[in-house]
Amino acid sequence: MNVVLMVWRQENRDTAGRLQRIEAKDISSEMSFLEMLDVVNERLILAGERPIAFDHDCREGICGSCGVVINGTAHGPRRGTTTCQLHMREFHDGQTIVIEPYRAKPFPVLRDLVVDRSALDRITAAGGFVSASTGSAPDGNAIPVAKPKAEAAMDAAACIGCGACVAACPNAAAMLFVGAKISHLGLLPQGQPERWMRAEAMVAAMDREGFGPCTNVTECAAVCPKEINLSVIARMNRDRMAAVFLVARRSPRGDTA
Amino acid sequence: MAAIWYFLRSTIGLKVVMAVSGFFLFGFLVEHMIGNLLFFLGPDLLNGYAELLHASQLFLWTARSVMILAAGFHATTALVLYLRQRAARPVGYRRTRSRTFSYAARTMKYTGPLVLVFVLFHLAHFTLGWQVTPAPFVEGDVYANVVASFQHTWVAVVYVVAVLLVGFHFIHGGHSLFESLGVRHPRFDGLIRTVTGGFAVAVTVGFVALPCAILFKLAGG
């Protein structure tokens, strides 16, 4: 099959970018989207041009490295799928495919389709962990976790941090990502001691990075490759509200109030 | 106190302010609509109801203060959130494609200010008594003022359009206020959307009935 790519090309974060038209001929419909880009890049290199820069790593849909906006949708037209797991059979012969990087102030474009997503790492570093020393793996059933809670925590933990929720949100909000991190720890016994501090610190980090507010448009969940449920955002809101009263605060004298 | 202030400045705190102030504003609309429907029971009841509302200056100004505060918080918080949204995506996409097609949600930033403009006009018209139609404004005779005004097509049309905008605003705002307050669960999402959507339709129909009845000479003749 032959397709026409309209790819965002940008030298670095300080220069202006533009869409470049590249004709990709003789593409196999069995190729993944990234394999198609690999083939296009081989040809660009042979022609003496700079290849298209794009992020990728595991190519099996679990690392969260890949992710571009394809024809206006983060990760492309297939639901519940990362860009690397998208195949060219989802497109038709002769189709024009617009490929753009994720757009958000906290995600500066580094080159072409590569954006700096370390803002998400900084949010995780603000509280997306359990700091208690837990030793080696506990005996099975030593810490009881109700089945529905275990399932909900696992669903939230499926987040791979790809940033598609931010890319798809009309406000560039990171609520689904932060909600997933807060929910996956907040639902489990190990996450309870730091639950309220975590909600307060991660929301503050999210605001500091400059992500937008949520308007409940629900585009984030519609593009999430792990199909994270919107209820994680509600849980984050509840935990952040409760944190106003439940976080132990230090008085000026140093004792906890 | 510091903890509350810190919370209210966060994006989640601002959404809570939107939700609570929106809830008060919508609660007022329900009360206003029920008052309007007294029109169909005759001038005595409608004017009597208006008199009752004005019976105590303390009560009247307490109620008015709550509404002015709610509207003020709702509008200023909306502006702050809008500016944060704008700042969060300085460079947009060349092509966008929506999967959820939530028109009501995406047009909140237009329906909100339009409704505000209408409310200011509406207060000038029926509370301050600006003479927007040839008929003179009679203080206290709500029934006569309403009938005299809605006989003019443009007044009725402006009113109906504004009410439809409010209804559209609430189609999204209704369930959104629950979500902002953390009330969301796959099991109850359908119920919340159905109930708030039903409320939006009921209030819209209740408000539209009055000007339509007068314009088409079905009542108040």
**ipTM value:** 0.91
- Tokens for B116, please give them: 């505000």
Which chain B residues touch A148 with a CB distance below 8 Å? none
A166 CB-contact burial (10 Å; exposed 0-12 / middle 13-18 / buried 19+): buried
Amino acid at B5: W
Residues of chain B with pLDDT under 50: none
Condensed to tens digits (0 to 9), the pLDDT of residues B74-85 reads 999 999 999 999
Question: Which residues 156-215 of B are in CB contact (within 8 Å) with A?
Answer: 172, 175-176, 179-186
Rg (CA), chain A: 21
Confidence (pLDDT) at A143: 86
**CB–CB of B11 and A222 under 8 A?**
no
**Distance, C-alpha A219 to centroid of its chain:** 13
The minimal CB distance from A100 to the residues B15, B87, B94 is found for B94
Euclidean distance between CA atoms A224 and B139, whole angstroms: 58
How many CB atoms are closer than 10 A to CB B16? 21
Task: Work out whether strand A96-100 and strand A69-70 pair parallel, antiparallel, or are unpaired.
Answer: antiparallel
Amino acid at A159: C
Shortest CA distance from A19: residue in chain B: B94
Shortest CA distance from B182: residue in chain A: A234
The minimal CB distance from B186 to the residues A19, A231, A247 is found for A231
Kindly give, in sequence order, each residue whose CB lies less than 8 Å from that of residue B115, ignoring residues fewer than 6 positions away.
B162, B165, B166, B169
- Domains, chain A: 3-111 (3.10.20.30), 118-246 (1.10.1060.10)
Q: Is B8 on the interface with A (CB under 8 A)?
A: no
B133 with B143: CB under 8 angstroms?
A: no
The minimal CB distance from B184 to the residues A106, A212, A234 is found for A234
pTM recorded for the entire structure: 0.93
A241 with A249: CB under 8 angstroms?
A: no
Confidence (pLDDT) at B2: 86
A94 with A69: CB under 8 angstroms?
A: no
Amino acid at A154: M
Confidence (pLDDT) at A197: 94
Per-residue model confidence as pLDDT tens for chain A (257 residues) = 999 999 999 999 999 999 999 999 999 999 999 999 999 999 999 999 999 999 999 999 999 999 999 999 999 999 999 999 999 999 999 999 999 999 999 999 999 999 999 999 999 999 999 987 767 888 888 889 999 999 999 999 999 999 999 999 999 999 999 999 999 999 999 899 999 999 999 999 999 999 999 999 999 999 999 999 999 999 999 999 999 999 877 555 555 54
| Pairs of CB atoms within 8 A across A/B | 130
Confidence (pLDDT) at A250: 59
Half-sphere exposure of B179 (CA within 13 A, CB side): 25
**CB–CB of A235 and B182 under 8 A?**
yes
Hey, which residues does A7 pair with through a beta bridge? Answer: A20, A99
Strand order in the sheet with A73-74: A18-24, A3-9, A96-100, A69-70, A73-74
Which chain A residues touch B106 with a CB distance below 8 Å? 170, 217
**CB–CB of B85 and A172 under 8 A?**
yes
Which chain B residues touch A223 with a CB distance below 8 Å? 99
A184 with A238: CB under 8 angstroms?
A: no
Question: Among B48, B51, B43, which Cα is nearest to B148's?
Answer: B43
Residue labelled with tokens 């507010």: A213
Euclidean distance between CA atoms A68 and A100, whole angstroms: 6
